[in-house]
Amino acid sequence: LAETTQTQIWINARIATMDPTRAAPYGEFANHCLVVNGDVIDRIVPMAELESEGVAGIVHDVGGRWVTPGLIDCHTHLVFAGNRVAEWEQRLSGVSYAEIARLGGGIMNTVRATRSASEDELVASAKPRAQALIEEGVTCLEIKSGYGLTTADELKMLRAVRRLGQELPVEISSTLLAAHAVPPEFTGGADAYVDLILNEIIPKVAEQQLAEAVDVFCESIAFNVDQCDRVWPAAKRHGLAVKGHVEQLSNQHGAVRLAAHRAWSADHLEYLDDAGVSALAASGTTAVLLPGAYYFLRQAKKPPIEKLRAAGVPMAVATDYNPGTSPFASIRLAMNLACVLFGLTPEESLAGATRHAATALGRADRLGTLAAGKQADFLIWDVDHPAEIVCSLGVNRLVSRVFRGKTDDVAA
């Protein structure tokens, strides 16, 4: 294993920098090399320049292969206990979602299992899910709480998230999603539960530095926009960033209110209207597209991709990995679905899981593109063209994954 304090040079690379300041598709640099010092990219230079100058360091020959930034999954719920497979079978046998929920299924099924699980059990069950994403090339991963819905259980989930970041070679962005569902103890009293979030859960999470952002589920079956708009300012008062699940199943006008808080991201957006598009554009909020949930729920209404594109709203793509509505530990599947179902180009889709995902996690200064000064998180692919990373599923074309300047070979 290479010492990360040394200079390392990846030579003979075809680099898809995803840097928008480069006019070439995918921000390409052909026949270049990446010079890395420690865990930071020092510079990207043409091979000819390197040959004439000569640079001392450990040399890795990429052999003309494509190099991309590390993939970033900016929206997951991958810490949870239990599973919802039986419900899926019931739904496909004709049992309605309302009936399943009446019998204690749906999100409350996962809440019960997660409350019963220990922190160790949550870490153990989440590890293979995170590992699957890592093996696909994910180097930065967001994980939300939201299946505890008590102060103790939300803190327990977030401690499990923190441990995943300590035990796996991946950067974790941790998000408090206490406002995911109204817990059974508060049925009919969502405002009282929001009081608990404001007065106890957010302060404790901030004090223990267990999350960097606060998320909400703004929907008719969860929290209304006024309740969400109590959570967002409270989060900001504690120095936390804000984001929201908005306009997924109906238009609650959550995006406009969320954008007013200079949110990191607005996620789902199937029912986003023109005012919402304008608000996201004006505030610089990233739109996070989650085509896995759209697909699994067989939704009919797509997010307004053309309008978002025309307004210049950055569009990220993420898995939304969760047991109920998007049980997929594959960022490449999400990128593929974003193209096939939503009409993104492969380049937009790859930007969605790199540059724009970094923006959605407040990390645009360090992650998401390959350029001097960025963190040395990148992937070497055995593909003829970067679109193949998005197009073709089932075969892992990832040859090498470099995380913070350290290589872990994932190829067989």
Q: For the CB of residue 84, give the shortest distance to Zn ion in the complex, in Å.
A: 14
Q: Which two tokens stand for residue 144?
A: 């939300």
Give me the least distance between CB of 109 and Zn ion, in Å please.
16
Among 156, 137, 138, residue whose Cα is nearest residue 148: 156
Strands (E), 256-352: 265-268, 286-289, 315-317
Q: Does 270 bind Zn ion (CB under 5 A)?
A: no
Q: Which is nearer to Zn ion, 33 or 111 (CB)?
A: 111
**Residue 160 or 177 having the CB closest to Zn ion:** 177
State the residue for tokens 């490449």. Answer: 332
Give which of 337, 306, 305, 304 is closest to 320, Cα–Cα: 337
Q: Which amino acid is residue 357, in one-letter code?
A: A
Q: How far is the CB of 288 from Zn ion (least distance, A)?
A: 9
Task: Compute how many residues bind Zn ion; rule: CB under 5 A.
Answer: 1
User: How is 128-161 classified by DSSP, letter by letter?
Assistant: HHHHHHHHHTEEEEEEE--S--SHHHHHHHHHHH
Q: How far is the CB of 291 from Zn ion (least distance, A)?
A: 12
Tokens standing for 358?
């970094």
Looking at the Cβ atoms of 136 and 320, the one nearer to Zn ion is 320
Closer residue to Zn ion (CB): 265 or 400: 265
- Within 306-335, the residues that bind Zn ion by CB under 5 A are 320
In the bound state with Zn ion, the residue whose beta carbon lies nearer, of 265 and 369, is 265
Q: How far is the CB of 324 from Zn ion (least distance, A)?
A: 10
State which residue, 186 or 296, has the beta carbon closest to Zn ion: 296
Element (H, E) at 10: strand 7-16
User: Does 247 help bind Zn ion (rule: CB under 5 A)?
Assistant: no
Contact set for Zn ion, span 354-373 (CB under 5 A):
none
Provide the pairing of β-strand 406-408 with 398-403: antiparallel
Residue with the closest Cβ to Zn ion? 320
Is residue 251 packed enough to be buried (19+ CB in 10 Å), middle (13-18) or exposed (0-12)?
middle
Which stretches of the chain bind Zn ion, using CB under 5 A? Answer: 320
